[in-house]
Amino acid sequence: MTQRIAFQGEPGAYSHQACHAERPQLEALPCPTFEAVIDAVREGRATQAMLPVENTTYGRVADIHRLLPESGLHIIDEAFVRVHINLLGVPGTAIADVKEAWSHLVLLPQCARFLREHGITGRVSTDNARAARDVAEWADPSKAALASELAGEIYGLDVLARHVEDHDTNTTRFLIMSREPDLTRRAEHMMTTFVFRVRNIPAALYKAMGGFATNGVNMTKLESYMVDGSFTATQFYADIEGHPEDPPVQRALEELDYFTSYLKVLGTYPADPARD
């Protein structure tokens, strides 16, 4: 059976690039939505999922925090992937020929300086990889795409300019997920991710967080979001450093459990070296 890793987007998307970088031994499986990515793994058409959870430029990826707790999947790894944006054109095109650059709405402002300097108008596409595919089909030197080098390779486009983003810090954090959890301690620096809801008592969140402070457990992320369309039902997503079997983490989670009505560990996994 072919081992696959599912991602959201068209071939050449940045999630596809992440699959190539982090799981080169697996065949990448494109899916139209995040739900379809999860279904592909649950149904056995893929063994792993590559899901973006946050980006340094535009923050949290919509819907991911809502989908993960009910996905039935487990986080087994994380990956920080630099997003390099490239100007892609049909073979033989020069930058001076380009009048329009097509890409996703999120990517265009990140290249504003480059586009302005070259007198290129940004045009919105539904997806950066789709933009590359369209440019290849149009075969018009005046139209280019802002996308990954992988997209250029897939659709036969030339890289007219590399790394045209205005800032060199644009990074996406991905979670790699599978049907089966891996709870082994397989690195010195481990991370643990969980979601929880606090009990309806005064200062419940403050008390729930106290166990991490008193036990010296570093919480690297805490985010809240509404559940079931209610303004009063709030769920929290958290990342902490450490493994659930570490005594300080164990004590902190036990204290958290006392103040919560719902607590679910989504996975424990090696920290990406980019964290250091």
pLDDT band at 10 (very low <50, low <70, confident <90, very high): very high
Query: pTM higher than 0.85 for the full model?
Result: yes
Pair 271, 191: CB distance under 8 Å:
yes
Nearest CA to 261 out of 193, 204, 196 is that of 196
Among 47, 172, 192, 268, the active-site one is 172
228 pLDDT above the threshold of 70: no
Rounded Cα distance between 256 and 33, Å, is 33
Q: Is 34 a catalytic residue?
A: no
Q: Where does the chain show beta strands of DSSP type E? A: 4-8, 27-31, 48-55, 59-60, 74-82, 86-89, 100-104, 121-125, 143-147, 158-161, 171-178, 190-198, 219-226, 234-241, 260-270
| pLDDT band at residue 66 under the 50/70/90 scheme | confident
CA 71/CA 166 separation, integer angstroms: 36
Catalytic one of 34, 174, 196, 259: 174
Neighbours of 45 (CB within 10 A): 14
Alpha-carbon distance of 121 to 142, in angstroms, equals 11
Alpha helices in 24-68 (DSSP H): 34-42, 64-67
Tens-place pLDDT, residues 133-166:
999 999 999 999 999 999 999 999 999 999 999 9
pLDDT, tens only, 11-21: 999 999 999 99
Cα 41 to Cα 17, 45, 72, 185, 248, distances in angstroms = 19, 6, 10, 24, 33
Model pLDDT, residue 224: 85
Q: How far is the C-alpha of 241 from the C-alpha of 243, rounded, in Å?
A: 7
Is 172 a catalytic site residue?
yes
Gyration radius from the chain CA atoms: 21
